[in-house]
Amino acid sequence: MTYRKPKVIVTRKLPDIIETRMMELFDCELNLVDEAFTRDQMLDAVSRAEILVPTVTDKIDKDILDAAGDSLKMIASFGTGVDHIDFAIARKRGIVVTNTPDVLTEDTADMTMALILSVPRRLVEGEQLVREGKWTGWSPTGMLGHRIHGKRLGIIGMGRIGTAVACRAKGFGLSVHYHNRNRVAEDVEHALEATFWSSLDQMIAHMDILSINCPHTPATYHLLNSRRLDLMKSHAYVVNTSRGEVIDEGALVKALSQGQIAGAGLDVYENEPAVNPKLIKLSNVVLLPHMGSATIEGRINMGERVIINIKTYVDGHNPPDRVIDTMF
């Protein structure tokens, strides 16, 4: 019996080792130029593919899915978040959706901790001072920031990444607090010496640093809005390595520019890749280009999970990272 390889179309360039393995296993069409598909290219891809491998920047909306041919059976997304896919329509059409959880946890937590350090300690401002030749030497009052040891960190979303952030924060002497839909296991809470707040508003009002680690869903859109930013202490900082839509960016700009809060560290933005020009002008913000998971090891691990999900599905089994309705 001859094995027929499924038609797989990949929307972005992936690590060489992953692309090579995909070519070996599947009838695979790669994107070698590493430029995002145009809408027309995406429409063409879904009309021909049996399995589509998009990334988190590819918007797979109703119109795209309606244009898909009957052969499209699976969307094996290269990334953890699935808010770029119209899941309800995909489910209605019987399309299996998978993602790549777990493998980005440590990398994203590392970047979160880097931002937690860089904003209060003014690392980017200091680096710029040296590069621009404006540093005149050490001074008792030069480039003063704030220590993080002993401060209260409030984590919004105590999932895999939030928990990994808490582990790192504890090592830096931060007091760990969190808000989550459900309280974490007692042994985890005890190990992290973490305090649970059922009220998000009350937690925000008591924290020195906020870390956004919840996914973007309809329920979390603009979760940190103008009203909640007003609750923050004037010396407090906010860090976001989750999704830009969780913060009302306009309200954040206002809070930063008017001194309502001390600073922010952002790896994600509400209208990526566009960044609010008002944010760029502020010196109390560290801005990164959505690189929280950008490690060689992480990208290879993501690709391996995509391959496992596809191969498992093609072999007639339920993919290990299948996204189910209860996740939304």
**What φ, ψ does residue 275 adopt, rounded to 5°?**
-115, 135
Q: Is residue 187 domain-shared with residue 269, that is, in the same domain? A: yes
Strand locations in the chain (E) = 7-10, 27-29, 51-53, 74-76, 96-98, 152-156, 175-179, 195-196, 209-212, 237-240, 263-266, 285-287
Name the average pLDDT for the chain: 95
pLDDT at site 325: 63
pLDDT recorded at residue 69: 79
pTM of the model: 0.87
Q: What is the pLDDT of residues 234-247, one digit of tens each?
A: 999 999 999 999 99
* Total number of domains constituting the chain: 2
**Are residue 275 and residue 301 in the same domain, yes or no?**
no
pLDDT score of 328: 37
Range of the domain at 92: 7-102+295-327
Q: What percent of the chain has pLDDT over 70?
A: 98
| Span 252-277, average pLDDT | 97
How large is the average pLDDT for residues 24-48? 95
* Mean pLDDT of all residues in 220-231: 97
Residue 130 in any domain: the answer is yes
The verdict on 219 and 316 lying in the same domain is: no
pLDDT in tens, 137-160: 999 999 999 999 999 999 999 999
Q: Which of 87, 69, 98 is nearest to 311 (CA)?
A: 98
1 lies in a domain?
Answer: no
CA distances from 223 to 180, 214, 226, 235 (A): 13, 10, 9, 20
pLDDT bracket for residue 327 (50, 70, 90): very low
d(CA 7, CA 137): 61
What pLDDT does residue 319 have? Answer: 97
- Domain assignment present for 2: no
Same domain flag for 250 and 305: no
Same domain, 234 and 179: yes
Segment 175-197 shows an average pLDDT of 97
Do 120 and 32 share a structural domain? no
- pLDDT at residue 271, as a whole number: 94
Reduced to 3 states (helix: H, G, I; strand: E, B; else coil), residue 196 is: strand
Which residues participate in catalysis according to the annotation? 243, 272, 290
Query: Based on the domain organization, do 270 and 323 belong to the same domain?
Result: no
Which CATH number is 53's domain given?
Answer: 3.40.50.720
Find the mean pLDDT for residues 195-221. Answer: 96
